[in-house]
Every structure is written in C-alpha cells, then in structure tokens.
Amino acid sequence: MEIHRVVVGPFENNVFVVRCVQTGDAILIDAANEHERLLELCQRLGVRRVLETHGHGDHIQAVPAMREAGYEVAVTAADAPMLKAVGYDVFIDDAEVIEVGRLRLHAIHNPGHTPGSVSFHVEGAPILFSGDTLFPGGPGATKYEGGDFAAIIDSLDNKLFTLPADTIVMPGHGTDTTIGTERPHLQEWVTRGW
C-alpha cells in the first residue's frame, strides 16, 4: 500500500490517495479543492474513484471537475443532499467494504460532525482515514447545521475507539495521531462539551 497526502485550499484540507502497489489501483479520499493538482495526482497514481468522508463545502470543491473527468464520486446517503450543487454518483453504506486492487477499506459510519460522516479503516493495516470526526485533541466540530455532539462522542466511543491503540488516525485537516493517544481523553472532551 502507498498513501499519498496533499494539502489543498484555504482550510488546508488533507486529501489522500490510497494505492495498491500490486495492481496500481487507487482511490482518492475527499476531492476538497485545487482540482488541477488532484486531477494530475489521479492520473499519475491510477485513481479509479473518489470517496467523500462527508459533505461539508471545504471537502467537495473539486468534485465537479473530478466527475467531469470521469471519476465516480461516492458519499453516504445521509450527506448526499449537501452535494446537490456539485453532484455525486453512488452511495457509501455503513460497513461497506471498498476494494482497491488487493486492499480493502472498511467504511465506518460515524455521525456527529455531519449526519453521514464516514471513516475508512484499511483492513490488515493500522490506518484510519477519519475525515473530520477525530483529530489530535478531540472530535470534529459539531456546531454547524447537522452536527450533533452526543452523536460524535458515541461514534468515537463505540466505533473508532474499538480499533487497536496503534491505529494511525489520518484526519481531514492537520497532523496524524493514534487511537491510543486520543482514547484516554474521551471523558475530558465530554466534560468540556466540544
């Protein structure tokens, strides 16, 4: 497996390409912005489709250009209405297994940041693409429309924090962390309320 990260746009979004070295197949996670850069990356690395972690505007700016270039864009049904202006092609279901060559990404529906937020865990590897659900130091913001603090805490506690402690968390913005680093702080986040 290869993981390529580029940081794009005014919100410094992380965009990831996950590539199976054996087959050359790849997917792009979050077509956030700077579509020229992303299209060049996709063509160079063999990207076949785009997976959106959620529907917030800063994560979908490049979607129209990606679709125009022939890339299928997938999003959860719950967040699909947020992509009305840019379009999408297929839905991602909770617990769906997405094959990328010989790699398997497990979709984990983790509502809270948005109703349809989804993370992707790479089978057999300690890698989690958490979108805006989990960052170093806490959960993603829940103050926007569709956000729900109780739901994001439940998502963390019962979905993401069940993963092994050495799982590397690669979020939608900023630096990586691990499940083991963040899990002990859950009650602090509940107490502070954000």
Specify the 3-state DSSP secondary structure of 166.
coil
**CA–CA gap between residue 121 and residue 73 (Å, rounded):** 19
Angle at 190 between CA 75 and CA 126, to 5 degrees: 50
DSSP run (H or E) holding 151: helix 149-158
**pLDDT tens-digit map of 62-108:** 999 999 999 999 999 999 999 999 999 999 999 999 999 999 999 99
The vertex-22 CA angle with 1 and 129, nearest 5°, equals 25
Q: Which two tokens stand for residue 97?
A: 């297994």
Beta strands in the chain (DSSP E): 2-8, 13-19, 26-29, 47-51, 72-75, 90-91, 97-100, 103-109, 118-122, 127-131, 134-135, 138-139, 168-171, 177-178
CA distance 189 to 155: 13
Report d(CA 31, CA 13) in Å as an integer.
Answer: 9
> What digits encode the pLDDT tens for the residues 127-150?
999 999 999 999 999 999 999 999
CA distances in angstroms from 142 to 33, 65, 77, 148, 151, listed in the order given: 22, 29, 19, 5, 9
Instruction: Read off the tokens for 103.
Output: 């790699």
CATH 1.10.8.60 assigned to domain 2-192? The reply is no
Interval 21-58: pLDDT, tens? 999 999 999 999 999 999 999 999 999 999 999 999 99
- Written as one letter, the residue type at 33 is N
β-pairing verdict for 72-75 and 90-91: parallel
Residue 14 pLDDT:
98
pTM value > 0.75: yes
Query: Which pLDDT score is estimated for 93?
Result: 97
**How much is the pLDDT for 136?**
98
Tell me what the mean pLDDT of segment 100-121 comes to.
Answer: 98
Domain spans of the chain, in order of start: 2-192
The pLDDT confidence band at residue 13, using thresholds 50, 70 and 90, is: very high
Q: Fill in the DSSP letter of residue 53.
A: S
Q: Rounded distance, CA 70 to CA 21, Å? A: 22
Residue 143 identity (one-letter amino acid): K
